[in-house]
């Protein structure tokens, strides 16, 4: 018998705000979280905007309290999680708490690396013999520790002791929904009583923008206003807007939550995942990975397609992804089910995208509205799905959430509203 799994607490640091109320207001009003990048000089780039939390939109030299942006975002999210009403660790055994997070693949600090190489080249004849000495000058042990993808688990553990199973997912755009799915399965099977899940991403960096612009996946259309760059399913879409931040949730078995008097915020009822490595950027020509993950989520939940009242799409605002996702939704579900695309408001948070859009789904289900898809001025006639342009009141019972990563990684999850 599978345990019911519910979300009972959350914490966030996002382009739309750092609290439940601030994100709710932005979603309801259709307020953009995309702003001009201040954290580095964008003069040499085609794109100058991103979805960046206000606390992180500053020059690197101003970052004093944390060694990296993802640390800053995770620390803020953990603080929010710990401050959530009813979040009392005395009700938990650390041995029965797991932690599963979606994160970016760690990369060396570009500035440190450039300085190291320049210093090494000053005496090229001795480049290899004095490498250790030069490296010792430029790097500390902590710099190498940050290249360990599990570092983020240690950051969370420093504030919330857990001794259960733990794992990081590096599945790019699907990473945090995969992490939530892993936590869901661990709780549902009774292996843990609770799991800290979610994701963090800090990819608004010069080196990342160089790569994204080189493969033409981000919007650089100078004719559009900054808040009109992200436009999923619209005819003028031409790429996504990068974003970053962190969102964390506490998952618990329903029985454990009731026993300690916690208020369930939303139930997770099904999860599906798939992989189809047909191309690093393009979806499978027949949208196989998308259809598979949605079909598996439905089977996991024991639901019929007609029971899904809303789809929170991956909706990147790239030409091919939106076209393929729309076709997959219509094939697995129908052309009538309402579809919303949150990246139109805050951009694409890469490894944290699934967690951010899970938060948006939770808010919409609890507060009784469907967030509108911003900038849907002329829906693409080739996208047959029923895209919702304006925020509207609705009491949805089941919502299916998609996250589709580059390289063919796919994850879908089904959530159920729990009335307070």
Residues with a catalytic annotation lie at: 173, 314, 348
Tokens describing residue 198: 């979610």
Contact 155, 385 (CB under 8 A): no
Measured in whole angstroms, the distance separating CA 198 from the mean position of its chain's CA atoms is 8
Contact 218, 212 (CB under 8 A): yes
Tokens describing residue 113: 């690396």
Contacts of 126 (CB under 8 A, 6+ apart): none
The dihedral over CA atoms of 296, 302, 308, 311, expressed in degrees to the nearest 10, equals: -30
Contact 351, 173 (CB under 8 A): yes
Q: How far is CA 77 from CA 96, 140, 194, in A?
A: 21, 27, 17
Contact 282, 318 (CB under 8 A): no
Contacts of 418 (CB under 8 A, 6+ apart): 6, 264, 265, 266, 267
DSSP string of 3-54?
PPEEEEEEEEEBTTBSSHHHHHHHHHHT---EEE--SS--TTSS--EEE--G
CA distance 379 to 377: 6
Give the closest residue to 200 by CA, choosing from 167, 164, 230, 175: 175
Q: Which residues pair with 311 in a beta bridge?
A: 339, 400
295-333 per-residue burial string, b: 16 or more CB within 10 A, e: under 16: bbbbebbebeeeebbbbbbbbbbbeebbbbbbbbbbbbb
């Amino acid at each position: 018998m599978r345990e019911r799994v519910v979300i009972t607490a959350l914490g966030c640091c996002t382009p739309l705000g750092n609290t439940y109320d601030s994100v709710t207001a932005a979603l309801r009003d259709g307020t953009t979280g995309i702003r001009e990048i201040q954290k580095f000089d964008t003069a040499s780039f085609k794109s100058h905007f991103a979805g960046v939390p206000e606390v992180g939109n500053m020059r690197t030299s101003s970052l004093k309290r944390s060694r990296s942006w993802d640390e800053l975002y995770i620390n803020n999210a953990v603080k929010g999680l710990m401050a959530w009403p009813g979040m009392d660790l005395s009700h938990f055994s650390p041995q029965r708490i797991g932690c599963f997070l979606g994160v970016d693949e760690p990369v060396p600090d570009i500035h440190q690396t450039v300085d190291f190489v320049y210093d090494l080249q000053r005496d090229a004849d001795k480049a290899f013999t004095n490498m250790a000495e030069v490296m010792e000058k430029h790097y500390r042990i902590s710099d190498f520790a940050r290249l360990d993808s599990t570092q983020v688990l240690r950051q969370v553990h420093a504030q919330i002791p857990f001794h259960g199973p733990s794992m990081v997912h590096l599945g790019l755009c699907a990473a945090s929904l995969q992490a939530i799915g892993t936590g869901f399965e661990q709780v549902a099977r009774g292996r843990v009583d609770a799991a800290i899940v979610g994701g963090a991403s800090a990819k608004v960096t010069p080196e990342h923008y160089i790569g994204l612009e080189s493969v033409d996946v981000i919007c650089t259309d100078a004719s559009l206003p900054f808040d009109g760059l992200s436009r999923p399913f619209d005819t003028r879409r031409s790429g996504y807007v990068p974003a970053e931040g962190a969102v964390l949730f506490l998952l618990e078995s329903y029985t454990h939550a009731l026993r300690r008097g916690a208020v369930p915020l939303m139930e997770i009822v099904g999860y599906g995942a798939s992989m189809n490595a047909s191309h690093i950027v393009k979806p499978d020509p027949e949208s196989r990975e998308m259809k598979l993950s949605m079909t598996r989520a439905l089977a996991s939940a024991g639901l019929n397609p007609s029971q899904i009242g809303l789809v929170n799409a991956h909706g990147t605002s790239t030409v091919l992804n939106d076209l393929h996702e729309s076709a997959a939704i219509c094939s697995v579900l129908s052309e009538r089910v309402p579809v919303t695309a949150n990246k139109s408001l805050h951009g694409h948070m890469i490894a944290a995208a699934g967690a951010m859009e899970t938060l948006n789904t939770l808010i919409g289900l609890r507060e009784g509205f469907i967030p509108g898809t911003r900038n849907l001025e002329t829906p693409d006639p080739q996208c047959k799905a029923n895209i919702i342009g304006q925020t509207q009141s609705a009491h949805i019972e089941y919502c299916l959430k998609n996250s589709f990563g580059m390289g063919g990684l796919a994850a879908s999850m089904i959530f159920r509203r729990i009335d307070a």
